[in-house]
Chains A and B, each alone.
Chain A
Amino acid sequence: DAKTTQPNSMESNEEEPVHLPCNHSTISGTDYIHWYRQLPSQGPEYVIHGLTSNVNNRMASLAIAEDRKSSTLILHRATLRDAAVYYCIPRANAGKSTFGDGTTLTVKP
Protein backbone atom coordinates (compact mmCIF):
# COMPACT_ATOMS: atom_id res chain seq x y z
CA ASP A 1 0.00 0.00 0.00
CA ALA A 2 1.11 3.56 -0.67
CA LYS A 3 2.16 5.44 2.48
CA THR A 4 -0.06 8.37 3.40
CA THR A 5 0.49 11.45 5.53
CA GLN A 6 -2.48 13.35 6.96
CA PRO A 7 -2.60 15.95 9.73
CA ASN A 8 -3.73 14.41 13.01
CA SER A 9 -6.43 17.00 13.55
CA MET A 10 -8.09 20.04 12.02
CA GLU A 11 -10.71 22.51 13.16
CA SER A 12 -13.32 24.37 11.21
CA ASN A 13 -16.16 26.74 11.90
CA GLU A 14 -19.65 25.69 10.94
CA GLU A 15 -20.72 26.69 7.41
CA GLU A 16 -17.15 27.41 6.34
CA PRO A 17 -15.24 25.37 3.76
CA VAL A 18 -12.75 22.75 4.94
CA HIS A 19 -9.74 21.50 3.01
CA LEU A 20 -8.35 18.21 4.27
CA PRO A 21 -4.95 17.39 2.76
CA CYS A 22 -3.31 14.03 2.14
CA ASN A 23 0.15 13.24 0.84
CA HIS A 24 0.63 9.93 -0.95
CA SER A 25 3.93 10.30 -2.72
CA THR A 26 4.41 6.53 -3.32
CA ILE A 27 1.08 6.06 -5.05
CA SER A 28 1.15 3.75 -8.06
CA GLY A 29 -0.35 4.59 -11.41
CA THR A 30 -3.36 2.30 -11.00
CA ASP A 31 -4.28 3.33 -7.45
CA TYR A 32 -7.47 5.24 -6.94
CA ILE A 33 -7.54 7.82 -4.16
CA HIS A 34 -10.38 7.00 -1.82
CA TRP A 35 -11.67 9.04 1.07
CA TYR A 36 -13.74 7.62 3.87
CA ARG A 37 -14.94 9.15 7.08
CA GLN A 38 -15.91 7.65 10.40
CA LEU A 39 -18.37 9.36 12.68
CA PRO A 40 -18.22 8.56 16.41
CA SER A 41 -19.45 5.04 17.18
CA GLN A 42 -20.09 4.27 13.50
CA GLY A 43 -18.39 2.21 10.84
CA PRO A 44 -16.48 4.09 8.13
CA GLU A 45 -18.53 5.73 5.39
CA TYR A 46 -17.46 6.15 1.77
CA VAL A 47 -17.08 9.81 0.78
CA ILE A 48 -15.51 10.04 -2.66
CA HIS A 49 -12.80 8.61 -4.90
CA GLY A 50 -10.88 9.61 -8.00
CA LEU A 51 -7.98 8.62 -10.21
CA THR A 52 -6.61 11.69 -11.97
CA SER A 53 -9.33 14.26 -12.49
CA ASN A 54 -11.01 16.29 -9.80
CA VAL A 55 -14.30 14.78 -8.70
CA ASN A 56 -17.48 16.17 -7.17
CA ASN A 57 -20.40 14.47 -5.49
CA ARG A 58 -23.16 15.49 -3.12
CA MET A 59 -20.92 15.07 -0.08
CA ALA A 60 -17.61 16.63 -1.13
CA SER A 61 -15.10 17.47 -3.82
CA LEU A 62 -11.77 15.80 -4.39
CA ALA A 63 -8.89 17.78 -5.84
CA ILE A 64 -6.01 15.64 -7.10
CA ALA A 65 -2.58 17.12 -7.77
CA GLU A 66 -1.30 16.79 -11.30
CA ASP A 67 1.50 14.44 -10.17
CA ARG A 68 -1.01 12.50 -8.02
CA LYS A 69 1.29 12.66 -5.03
CA SER A 70 -1.25 14.56 -2.99
CA SER A 71 -4.96 15.21 -2.85
CA THR A 72 -7.37 17.42 -0.94
CA LEU A 73 -10.86 16.61 0.23
CA ILE A 74 -13.04 19.69 0.21
CA LEU A 75 -16.18 20.06 2.28
CA HIS A 76 -17.81 23.16 0.89
CA ARG A 77 -19.83 24.10 3.98
CA ALA A 78 -18.96 22.20 7.11
CA THR A 79 -21.79 21.22 9.42
CA LEU A 80 -21.66 19.79 12.91
CA ARG A 81 -22.52 16.41 11.38
CA ASP A 82 -19.26 16.50 9.42
CA ALA A 83 -17.23 16.10 12.62
CA ALA A 84 -15.48 12.78 12.06
CA VAL A 85 -12.17 11.09 11.34
CA TYR A 86 -11.33 11.39 7.64
CA TYR A 87 -9.17 8.73 6.01
CA CYS A 88 -7.31 9.01 2.73
CA ILE A 89 -6.63 5.62 1.06
CA PRO A 90 -4.63 5.37 -2.14
CA ARG A 91 -5.24 1.88 -3.45
CA ALA A 92 -6.76 0.08 -6.42
CA ASN A 93 -9.35 -1.51 -4.15
CA ALA A 94 -10.10 0.35 -0.93
CA GLY A 95 -11.72 -2.72 0.58
CA LYS A 96 -8.41 -4.45 1.23
CA SER A 97 -6.70 -1.53 2.91
CA THR A 98 -5.54 -0.68 6.36
CA PHE A 99 -6.75 2.84 6.88
CA GLY A 100 -4.02 4.68 8.77
CA ASP A 101 -4.85 7.13 11.54
CA GLY A 102 -6.67 9.78 9.50
CA THR A 103 -7.50 13.39 10.34
CA THR A 104 -9.91 14.17 13.16
CA LEU A 105 -12.09 17.08 12.05
CA THR A 106 -13.71 19.21 14.73
CA VAL A 107 -16.46 21.59 13.63
CA LYS A 108 -17.19 24.50 15.91
CA PRO A 109 -20.65 26.09 15.98
Chain B
Amino acid sequence: DTGVSQDPRHKITKRGQNVTFRCDPISEHNRLYWYRQTLGQGPEFLTYFQNEAQLEKSRLLSDRFSAERPKGSFSTLEIQRTEQGDSAMYLCASAQEGRTEAFFGQGTRLTVV
Protein backbone atom coordinates (compact mmCIF):
# COMPACT_ATOMS: atom_id res chain seq x y z
CA ASP B 1 0.00 0.00 0.00
CA THR B 2 1.62 3.20 -1.15
CA GLY B 3 -0.56 5.68 0.66
CA VAL B 4 -3.73 7.67 0.05
CA SER B 5 -4.65 7.79 -3.61
CA GLN B 6 -6.88 10.38 -5.27
CA ASP B 7 -8.34 10.38 -8.74
CA PRO B 8 -8.30 12.36 -10.95
CA ARG B 9 -5.33 14.60 -10.17
CA HIS B 10 -6.73 17.40 -12.28
CA LYS B 11 -10.23 18.21 -13.49
CA ILE B 12 -11.41 21.08 -15.65
CA THR B 13 -15.15 21.47 -15.94
CA LYS B 14 -17.64 24.01 -17.20
CA ARG B 15 -19.77 25.93 -14.75
CA GLY B 16 -22.97 24.08 -14.00
CA GLN B 17 -21.60 20.60 -14.61
CA ASN B 18 -21.37 17.89 -11.95
CA VAL B 19 -18.02 16.41 -10.95
CA THR B 20 -17.06 13.42 -8.80
CA PHE B 21 -13.73 12.73 -7.15
CA ARG B 22 -12.51 9.48 -5.67
CA CYS B 23 -10.29 8.79 -2.68
CA ASP B 24 -8.73 5.44 -1.78
CA PRO B 25 -7.41 5.56 1.79
CA ILE B 26 -4.64 3.48 3.31
CA SER B 27 -6.22 0.04 3.62
CA GLU B 28 -6.28 -0.40 7.40
CA HIS B 29 -7.45 3.15 8.08
CA ASN B 30 -11.08 3.43 9.13
CA ARG B 31 -11.17 7.24 9.31
CA LEU B 32 -11.40 9.35 6.17
CA TYR B 33 -11.45 13.14 5.76
CA TRP B 34 -12.11 15.53 2.92
CA TYR B 35 -10.64 19.02 2.72
CA ARG B 36 -10.68 21.95 0.34
CA GLN B 37 -7.67 24.20 -0.20
CA THR B 38 -7.65 27.44 -2.17
CA LEU B 39 -4.48 29.15 -3.33
CA GLY B 40 -2.44 30.63 -0.52
CA GLN B 41 -4.65 29.20 2.22
CA GLY B 42 -4.35 26.17 4.44
CA PRO B 43 -6.66 23.18 4.00
CA GLU B 44 -10.23 23.62 5.28
CA PHE B 45 -12.04 20.65 6.77
CA LEU B 46 -15.15 19.55 4.86
CA THR B 47 -16.30 16.19 6.20
CA TYR B 48 -15.26 13.09 8.13
CA PHE B 49 -16.16 9.40 7.93
CA GLN B 50 -15.58 6.63 10.40
CA ASN B 51 -16.00 3.44 8.42
CA GLU B 52 -19.09 4.06 6.27
CA ALA B 53 -20.71 6.56 8.63
CA GLN B 54 -20.42 10.27 7.87
CA LEU B 55 -19.97 11.67 11.37
CA GLU B 56 -19.22 15.32 10.80
CA LYS B 57 -19.82 17.93 8.11
CA SER B 58 -18.46 21.46 8.00
CA ARG B 59 -20.73 24.41 7.31
CA LEU B 60 -18.54 24.85 4.22
CA LEU B 61 -20.20 21.77 2.75
CA SER B 62 -23.15 23.29 0.91
CA ASP B 63 -26.14 21.34 -0.39
CA ARG B 64 -24.38 20.99 -3.74
CA PHE B 65 -21.68 18.85 -2.12
CA SER B 66 -22.20 15.23 -1.13
CA ALA B 67 -19.75 12.63 0.06
CA GLU B 68 -20.12 8.90 0.43
CA ARG B 69 -18.11 5.99 1.69
CA PRO B 70 -20.46 3.09 0.94
CA LYS B 71 -18.40 0.11 2.10
CA GLY B 72 -16.08 1.86 4.49
CA SER B 73 -13.22 1.74 2.02
CA PHE B 74 -12.99 4.26 -0.83
CA SER B 75 -14.92 7.53 -0.76
CA THR B 76 -16.38 9.85 -3.37
CA LEU B 77 -17.00 13.57 -3.22
CA GLU B 78 -19.55 14.94 -5.69
CA ILE B 79 -20.13 18.59 -6.49
CA GLN B 80 -23.33 19.36 -8.35
CA ARG B 81 -23.89 22.46 -10.51
CA THR B 82 -20.30 23.61 -10.11
CA GLU B 83 -19.56 27.29 -9.66
CA GLN B 84 -16.33 29.18 -10.28
CA GLY B 85 -15.89 29.53 -6.52
CA ASP B 86 -15.58 25.76 -6.29
CA SER B 87 -12.20 25.94 -8.02
CA ALA B 88 -9.74 24.58 -5.49
CA MET B 89 -7.62 21.63 -4.50
CA TYR B 90 -9.68 18.86 -2.89
CA LEU B 91 -7.66 16.77 -0.49
CA CYS B 92 -8.44 13.46 1.12
CA ALA B 93 -6.77 12.07 4.24
CA SER B 94 -7.07 8.87 6.22
CA ALA B 95 -6.14 7.85 9.74
CA GLN B 96 -6.12 4.75 11.87
CA GLU B 97 -8.43 4.62 14.86
CA GLY B 98 -6.55 5.38 18.05
CA ARG B 99 -3.88 7.41 16.30
CA THR B 100 -4.01 11.16 15.83
CA GLU B 101 -1.88 11.59 12.72
CA ALA B 102 -3.59 11.75 9.34
CA PHE B 103 -2.08 10.84 5.98
CA PHE B 104 -2.98 12.92 2.94
CA GLY B 105 -3.31 12.19 -0.72
CA GLN B 106 -1.90 14.51 -3.37
CA GLY B 107 -5.28 16.03 -4.05
CA THR B 108 -7.55 16.69 -7.01
CA ARG B 109 -7.22 20.15 -8.50
CA LEU B 110 -10.57 21.38 -9.80
CA THR B 111 -10.84 24.28 -12.20
CA VAL B 112 -14.32 25.54 -13.06
CA VAL B 113 -14.42 27.64 -16.22
The A contact surface, by secondary structure, is loop
Stretch at the interface among B11-19, B43-51, B67-75: B43-51
Question: Please, what's the 1-or-0 string for A81-96, where 1 marks a CB less than 8 Å from any CB in chain B?
Answer: 0000101000011111
* Chain A hits for B42, CB < 8 A: 85, 87, 98-102
Q: Flag the segment in A10-18, A20-28, A38-46, A69-77 that touches B.
A: A38-46
Q: Is the CB of B106 within 8 A of A43?
A: yes
Nearest Cβ distance between residue A40 and chain B, in whole angstroms? 12
List residues of chain A with CB within 8 A of the CB of B45.
96-98
Residue B33 at the chain A interface, CB threshold 8 Å = yes
Could you tell me which B residues sit within 8 Å of A by CB distance? Answer: 4, 31, 33, 40-45, 48, 56, 58, 91, 93, 95, 100-107
